[in-house]
Amino acid sequence: MGLLSDPSLSTHNKLVDNLAKHVRKVCYAFYTAGVVWFLCLALPEFNHGTYLSENALSPGLVYPEIRIDANRLAVQLLEELQRERKDHQSTTPHAWILAKFNEFGLETHTHNYSLRYPFGGGKEFHGKNIYGILRAPRIGSTEGIVFSAPYRAPSSVHVEISPSVPLLLAFADFARRKNYWAKDLIFLVTEQEQLGMQAWLEAYHDGDKTPDSSNSYLLSGNLPARAGSLQAALNIEVQDLEIDYVDVKIEGLNGKLPNLDMFNLVQRIMAREGVTSGYKQTPRKKRRSSLSNFEQNLRQMLAMLATQSSGVPNGNHGLFHRYRIDALTISAAKRVTNSNVKSNPTSSAVPLLKAIEGIARSLNNLLERFHQSFFFYVIVHNDRYISIGDYMPALVALVACSFIKAYLTWSTLDASAIVLSQETIALKPDTKSLKLSLPYGSVLIYLAVVLLIGYLANVLPLQHYILELPLNAAPLTATILIALSLIGFVLPFVVILPDGGLELLHISLLLIYGCTLIVIGLLNFSLGFFVGVLTVPMVVALNTSTRNSTLRSLARVWTLLLNPLVVIYIIVLVMSFHQFPELTMQQLLLRAATAAMDAAAFALVDSVIYGNWLYFAICTIFLPIWIICWTLALARRRGNEIHQPKLKTN
């Protein structure tokens, strides 16, 4: 009995031959099944209601003890802060925040960090975070919970969220009077959006290591005091003390999510305090809609996947996830004046304060990190979710297409060769040696070159000699990416593989594509699924031996459209069209071009500073795969005229 992996063994039998005749139909059936399965997940029969798995949380068992005086304090602090903000148009009033932390008796420290911006000849930025630690009164400082509030200067382009800091301070003042904390509470005010948070987290976890200053762009320094291993974090972004609703943001870096228990906990406690809260919550007017349940669910799912797929966190909470700290942001929106609702400024923030207290007490009850519930899920509705076991089949069905096609192509390779040889020469060929005689070497070299192009796109923009060019980040990155894509575009015209090389390349493409897609799908389902939905039909449609020239040119156009850079450009174009519908076509195209260049540069910066792997995935995985696809779509052969008509697979 031969080995299963013996290439000289003929794998084709009747079943395989029959299947091979209908390989496209089979693949498209799988593709449709995957997409339909995904759509079905929006139906209530396919998703589940949320529930709390972690007993220790015991949410809502305590009466909130925070009273109206905390609200009064918050209002007073907000007034003081507003006065301070007049003198600090583009900076943070560090002195005031420090003084308040000290006044409330917290162990207060500042954290300095600096960023060496790699582009445009190199610049250095400095930042400062302030944090206060409330030590657990009756237990060692081995565990901590973080409550953070980002501070935005008045000059910031983002929405103003200055009431977050007074709210945090008011809660800190309440918390320090209590004796039941079993974990240290860290109250943290960060500046410069995610950069400050990233620096603080790096300093907290790796501050003791001697930094390799030559290589790193973010010099996070060290922290003077810590509070043990961080168990959970709550980021607070409040637009006003009078709130309309709370939007719970969960998507983190590289599409990581906090444990579902934490989301459920926040939902449960918000509901008890009567705060309107939800995932991707929108104002009341928008909420009233005549959409069917299915459609609403589907929109919610797609919105979540869209946010997740970029891998960029949508709040400061997202950076905690890389240190295995469950975190989310509660983002409270300002109440738009409504004659029906009488607002009472003296007690307006009390429900939110109570909710924060409730969350804090539940987190305080944790005995170990969140581990009971799901880390991989899609939220369908505020109280419904899809677990990884339910959504993975959709992606697996998509990926299955490429593996099935790879297997069937491999199995029928010799069959096609027999047909070929019988027609040309009347001799029985040695079928067993056919697979051995394929040009493995040249295909391997070709693959290596293609991967090298992708790798260059990843490392070139950060080389010293390129960084010294007097160019901004956006044009620099874009130029390099376009140049490398062009090389990939030209490559199949220049390099023509020997006989059988294309078939072999096709099989290796299918295998590489399938493997990368499933790996990406496991790490970040949204990205994997979207890429799969977009590209699987194209990969299935590719056929190196089609004779029909219209089909071939169609495939070429299709492949060109799915070039990663083109896809990014189209996405940006659609987004800018939605955002600026008043622009003319020409203006729109131009604006989208600059925005796409910016996007490329931001992705690069994200990967360098935060560790977002989207840029890496696009350069090192999607670009090479595209080049291979392009090669196959062109299907240029040596001696094209003689062999091609006779090489027919099905």
Partner 1 sequence: MFNKGILLLLALIYSCAAHDTSMLPEAYVDAAQRSTHTNNWAVLVDASRFWFNYRHVANVLSIYRSVKRLGIPDSQIILMIADDMACNARNPRPGQVYNNANQHINVYGDDVEVDYRGYEVTVENFVRLLTGRTQNGTARSKKLLSDAGSNVLIYLTGHGGDGFLKFQDSEEITSQELADGIQQMWEKKRYNELFFMVDTCQAASLYEKFTSPNVLAVASSLVGEDSLSHHVDASIGVYMIDRYTYYALEFLEKVQPFSKRTIGEFLQVCPKRVCISTVGVRKDLYRRDPHKVPITDFFGAIRPTHVSTDRINVTLANEEDFVNAVANVRPKKQFKIVMEPQFTAAFLK
Q: Which residues contact partner 1 by CB under 8 A?
A: 55-56, 58, 61-63, 136-139, 178-182, 361, 364-365, 367
User: Which C-beta is closer to partner 1: that of 55 or that of 337?
Assistant: 55
**Element of type H or E holding 49:** strand 48-49
Q: From the CB of 145, what's the least distance to partner 1, in Å?
A: 13
User: Which C-beta is closer to partner 1: that of 65 or that of 69?
Assistant: 65
Q: From the CB of 137, what's the least distance to partner 1, in Å?
A: 8
Rounded to whole angstroms, the Cα distance separating 313 from 329 reads: 11
User: Which C-beta is closer to partner 1: that of 63 or that of 465?
Assistant: 63
User: Which C-beta is closer to partner 1: that of 55 or that of 89?
Assistant: 55
User: Which C-beta is closer to partner 1: that of 259 or that of 524?
Assistant: 259
User: Which C-beta is closer to partner 1: that of 135 or that of 405?
Assistant: 135
Q: From the CB of 179, what's the least distance to partner 1, in Å?
A: 6
Rounded to whole angstroms, the Cα distance separating 534 from 426 reads: 45
- What separation in angstroms does the CA of 228 have from each of 189, 201, 316, 449? 19, 13, 20, 48
Tokens 């942001």, residue located: 329
Q: From the CB of 138, what's the least distance to partner 1, in Å?
A: 4
- Sequential DSSP letters for 398-463: HHHHHHHHHHHHHHTHHHHHHHHHHHH-SSPP-HHHHTTTS-HHHHHHHHHHHHHHHHHHHHGGG-
Rounded to whole angstroms, the Cα distance separating 276 from 261 reads: 19
Rounded to whole angstroms, the Cα distance separating 628 from 488 reads: 9
Cβ–Cβ under 8 Å, residues 32 and 25: no
DSSP assigned state of 499: T
**Element of type H or E holding 257:** none
User: Which C-beta is closer to partner 1: that of 180 or that of 294?
Assistant: 180
User: Which C-beta is closer to partner 1: that of 58 or that of 548?
Assistant: 58
User: Which C-beta is closer to partner 1: that of 268 or that of 381?
Assistant: 268
Residue 329 φ then ψ, to 5°: -110, 130
Cβ–Cβ under 8 Å, residues 33 and 401: no
Rounded to whole angstroms, the Cα distance separating 98 from 78 reads: 15
SS (H, E, C) 112-153: EEEEEECCCCCEEEEEEEEEEEECCCCCCCCEEEEEEEECCC
User: Which C-beta is closer to partner 1: that of 20 or that of 363?
Assistant: 363
Q: From the CB of 61, what's the least distance to partner 1, in Å?
A: 5
Residues constituting the chain: 650
User: Which C-beta is closer to partner 1: that of 135 or that of 256?
Assistant: 135
Q: From the CB of 214, what's the least distance to partner 1, in Å?
A: 44
Cβ–Cβ under 8 Å, residues 228 and 141: yes
Q: From the CB of 345, what's the least distance to partner 1, in Å?
A: 28
Rounded to whole angstroms, the Cα distance separating 630 from 544 reads: 11
Cβ–Cβ under 8 Å, residues 384 and 264: no
- Grouping H, G, I as helix, E, B as strand and the rest as coil, residue 356 is helix
Q: From the CB of 374, what's the least distance to partner 1, in Å?
A: 21
User: Which C-beta is closer to partner 1: that of 369 or that of 591?
Assistant: 369
Q: From the CB of 305, what's the least distance to partner 1, in Å?
A: 35
Q: From the CB of 136, what's the least distance to partner 1, in Å?
A: 6
Q: From the CB of 363, what's the least distance to partner 1, in Å?
A: 11
User: Which C-beta is closer to partner 1: that of 136 or that of 453?
Assistant: 136
The two beta strands, 377-381 and 384-387, are antiparallel
Q: From the CB of 607, what's the least distance to partner 1, in Å?
A: 41
Q: From the CB of 232, what's the least distance to partner 1, in Å?
A: 15
User: Which C-beta is closer to partner 1: that of 55 or that of 215?
Assistant: 55
Q: Is 165 left (phi over 0), alpha (psi -120 to 50) or beta?
A: alpha
Q: From the CB of 368, what's the least distance to partner 1, in Å?
A: 10
- What separation in angstroms does the CA of 570 have from each of 289, 531, 561? 29, 14, 9
- Long-range contact pairs involving 477-483 (C-beta distance under 8 Å, separation at least 24): 477/597, 477/600, 477/601, 477/604, 478/596, 478/597, 478/600, 478/601, 481/457, 481/565, 481/600, 481/619, 482/565
Rounded to whole angstroms, the Cα distance separating 644 from 632 reads: 14
Residue 543 φ then ψ, to 5°: -145, 120
